[in-house]
């Protein structure tokens, strides 16, 4: 590393080939989906980037609900 050059940190600094490989795999996965899902998938990703993890949060709570109901049922 040259002097006076600071190392880039954060997003988009990963190894290029790995990024490309991941992108390819992702696109293949999307290709296999039906069209409606394809659209929703990209939309969901965009939303997740915007209000990061809100969707995940909701999903988590739904899972929690299921868990709790199961737990109560077992008890």
55 C-beta neighbours (distance < 10 Å), count? 13
Alpha carbon distances (Å) from 29 to 18, 49, 66: 17, 19, 28
The phi and psi torsions of 7 (rounded to 5 degrees) equal -75, 135
CA 6 to centroid of chain Cα atoms: 29
**Among residues of the chain, what percentage have pLDDT more than 70?**
47
In which band, very low, low, confident or very high, does the pLDDT at 54 lie, cut at 50, 70 and 90? low
The band of 75, judged by pLDDT with boundaries at 50, 70 and 90, is: low
């Amino acid at each position: 590393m040259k002097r006076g050059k600071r190392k880039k940190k954060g997003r988009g600094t990963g190894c290029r080939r790995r990024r490309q490989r991941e992108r390819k795999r992702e696109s293949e996965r999307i290709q296999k989906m039906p069209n409606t899902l394809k659209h929703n998938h990209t939309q969901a990703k965009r939303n997740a980037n915007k209000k990061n993890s809100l969707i995940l949060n909701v999903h988590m709570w739904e899972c929690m609900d299921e868990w709790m109901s199961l737990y109560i049922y077992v008890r």
